[in-house]
């Protein structure tokens, strides 16, 4: 939030579909979002979600996954790469 574009990744555990929603207020650059279920399977994704702008009504929205999600991954450069719905995500220690 309020930072320059970079390759930052934010993973947030959530409890339900309502909790897995995101908005783009206070963001300065587009992001990509991947929603995962409790088994780390991709249930929805969005690419290049644009930051909120009071002059652009298309940015006045809340983004929700199409299916229940437990985790939300926000990718700071807006690109989810080759990730697709149904893929299983694995987290590894650096």
Cα–Cα distance between 34 and 59 in angstroms, integer?
18
**Contacts of 91 by beta carbon, 8 Å cutoff, 6+ apart:** 11, 40
Q: Hey, where are the domains in the chain?
A: 9-75
Of 26, 10, 24, 27, the C-alpha closest to 71 is 10
Cα–Cα distance between 71 and 34 in angstroms, integer?
8
Kindly report whether the global pTM for this prediction surpasses the value 0.85.
Answer: no
Instruction: Report pLDDT digits (tens) over 7-64.
Output: 556 666 666 656 677 767 777 778 888 999 989 999 999 888 888 788 888 877 778 8
């Amino acid at each position: 939030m309020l930072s320059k574009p970079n390759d930052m990744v934010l993973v947030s555990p959530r409890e339900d579909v309502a909790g897995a929603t995101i908005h783009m207020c206070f963001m300065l650059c587009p992001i990509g979002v991947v929603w995962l279920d409790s088994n780390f399977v991709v249930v929805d994704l969005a690419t290049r979600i644009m930051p909120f702008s009071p002059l652009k009504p298309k940015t006045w929205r809340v983004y929700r996954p199409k299916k229940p999600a437990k985790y939300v991954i926000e990718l700071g450069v807006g690109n989810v790469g080759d990730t697709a719905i149904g893929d299983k995500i694995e987290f590894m220690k650096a």
